[in-house]
Amino acid sequence: MTAEIADRATDGYRARFGAEPDGVWFAPGRVNLIGEHTDYSGGYVLPFALGAGVAVAAGRGPEEAITVWSGQQAGDPDGVTAGLGALTPERITGWAAYPLGVAWSLRAAGHRLDGTRVAIEADLPMGAGLSSSAALECATALALCDVHDLRVPRSELVALASRAENEFVGAPTGIMDQSAALLCRAGHALLLDCRSGAVEEVPLDPAAAGLALVLIDTGTRHALTDGRYARRRWSCEEAARLLGVASLRDLVDRPDDVRLLADPELRRRAGHVVTENRRVLESADLLRHGALADVGPLLTQTHESLRDDFDVSWPQADVAVDAARSAGAAGARMMGGGFGGSVLVLTSVGLVPGVTDAIAAAYARRRWTAPGITRAVPSDGARRLR
């Protein structure tokens, strides 16, 4: 699949720019095993990289401008061109803000870019909760660094890509997705402390344990810029302020403090975050001891907490989770920012057909579009392909 999108990106580059690219770079989408809506409160997350992602063919261009073209954007057949000096957050909107935002944030950090041409292809659905946007940012970041001989450590690229998303695109997200795209390794999940930036690779090999991680695309789409995500983030910051701590991360060891919040909604929101941080640490510990199956109940608890306390689930996710559980899955939960996207199911390999059939049947009974079903395999992070 990766070779296929690399070929398509190269072909797109040749067709659009009439030249050979200098190279092709790839960044994957991610699955978050557990740790949802904890990253922007300095908490813990445990994502892994997918095999699918975004390929970027890139090369130097003749003038002080950057052109981004995407095979996914039929509405922009010539792509989008911007003068490098004229890149400002207000001027670029839509899909091009992700790759151009990365050029902007590299320049804002003092890195020198010259004229650049970029052609993009992907085998990752957009808005499906798999971080297609971070994959696009991170593949672009690697490409721009190599094309212009910039030596930027990956930890700094995480910050630069996140800044592009926060300040150029205008989505107030945390650092989980960019960290996963840039830092993950095959056969492992990444335990990330979003306050210190410390990472630990934790072994994650479902097949070896007779288990499968299955992604259910619920067909419902979401946007992290629609205000609902930002409101959740604000609630967490407000709860921390009222409790006199810098962020909800500070309550990992004293979760009962959230009971001091007078406002019932803030109490539920903060309650999710503090319990979720503990579930991440517990899950990482289980993985270190090769007990992936025991993570199942924690996934289900996370779903219930996101549904009932953080209020970010949606009907198609709830139905998929309930159907998976009734059919014997070890655990299941909605994934990502919420309000649309994908559900993650952990089940024994033998039960995969029964579980996925049960979900498909539950959707058919409601006359919903059939769910997309794929196996998630912990894969390598971003890299140069050619």
Q: Which residues are annotated as catalytic?
A: 177
b/e map of 285-294 (b: 16 or more CB within 10 Å)? ebbeeeebbb
For the chain, the first-to-last Cα distance in angstroms comes to 15
Residue 212 near residue 347, CB atoms below 8 Å: yes
> CB burial class (10 A; 0-12, 13-18, 19+) of residue 170?
middle
Residue 332 near residue 323, CB atoms below 8 Å: no
Q: How far is the CB of 163 from ligand GLA (least distance, A)?
A: 13
Identity of the residue, 82 or 181, whose beta carbon is nearer to ligand GLA in the bound complex? 181
Q: In the chain, what's the furthest Cα-to-Cα distance?
A: 64
Using alpha carbons, list the distances in angstroms from residue 258 to 52, 226, 251, 365: 39, 27, 8, 40
Could you tell me how far CA 97 lies from the centroid of its own chain? 17
Identity of the residue, 131 or 220, whose beta carbon is nearer to ligand GLA in the bound complex? 131
H-helix segments, the chain: 2-17, 97-108, 132-147, 154-163, 176-183, 228-243, 264-288, 296-308, 315-326, 352-365
Q: How many residues does the chain have?
A: 386
Q: How far is the CB of 210 from ligand GLA (least distance, A)?
A: 28
Q: How far is the CB of 358 from ligand GLA (least distance, A)?
A: 26
Identity of the residue, 127 or 219, whose beta carbon is nearer to ligand GLA in the bound complex? 127
Q: Distance between CA atoms of 76 and 68, rounded to whole angstroms? A: 10
Q: How far is the CB of 62 from ligand GLA (least distance, A)?
A: 35
Identity of the residue, 194 or 324, whose beta carbon is nearer to ligand GLA in the bound complex? 194
Using the structure block, give the residue that is written with the tokens 């903060």: 270
Identity of the residue, 174 or 206, whose beta carbon is nearer to ligand GLA in the bound complex? 174
Identity of the residue, 29 or 59, whose beta carbon is nearer to ligand GLA in the bound complex? 29
DSSP 379: B
Q: Which two tokens stand for residue 254?
A: 């004293």
Q: How far is the CB of 177 from ligand GLA (least distance, A)?
A: 5
Q: How far is the CB of 381 from ligand GLA (least distance, A)?
A: 16
Binding site for ligand GLA (CB under 6 A): 36-37, 39-40, 131, 173-174, 176-177, 224, 336-337
